[in-house]
């Protein structure tokens, strides 16, 4: 189970972070790594619905990641969970296919 932390220093970052305390430190205290806005946050139902819509509208992994403000590998992992198929994750983890429409890769 992931630990839950809340950053209180900057009002624009009043959110929860789930993960290791070292990563929390790097992200919020040291500010030495630039992550997408929703990095390490739990997925909402709206985000999951948007993900499915974007797949149907032939978005690529990179386009979905940009729109949902998440890392492309996070998108790939979520797609594998939604479709309950770890083979999808193996096929999509190659960054060469991040700019190909996801639906064309999962329907194979």
Task: Count CA atoms within 13 Å of residue 6 on its CB side.
Answer: 4
Say if residue 39's pLDDT is above 90.
no
Q: Write down the pLDDT at residue 88.
A: 80
- What sign for the dihedral angle of Cα 93, 99, 79, 22? positive
Say if residue 13's pLDDT is above 60.
no
pLDDT per residue as tens digits for the range 64-85: 999 999 988 899 889 989 888 8
Confidence of residue 9 (pLDDT cuts 50, 70, 90): low
């Amino acid at each position: 189970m992931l630990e839950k932390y809340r950053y209180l220093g900057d009002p624009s970052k009043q959110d929860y972070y789930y993960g290791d305390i070292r990563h929390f430190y790097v992200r919020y205290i040291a500010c030495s790594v630039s992550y997408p806005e929703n990095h390490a946050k739990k997925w909402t139902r709206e985000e999951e619905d948007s993900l499915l819509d974007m797949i149907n509208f032939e978005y690529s992994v990179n386009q979905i990641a940009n729109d949902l403000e998440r890392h492309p590998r996070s998108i790939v992992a979520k797609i594998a969970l939604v479709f309950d198929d770890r083979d999808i994750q193996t096929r999509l983890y190659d960054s060469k296919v991040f700019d190909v429409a996801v639906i064309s890769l999962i329907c194979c």
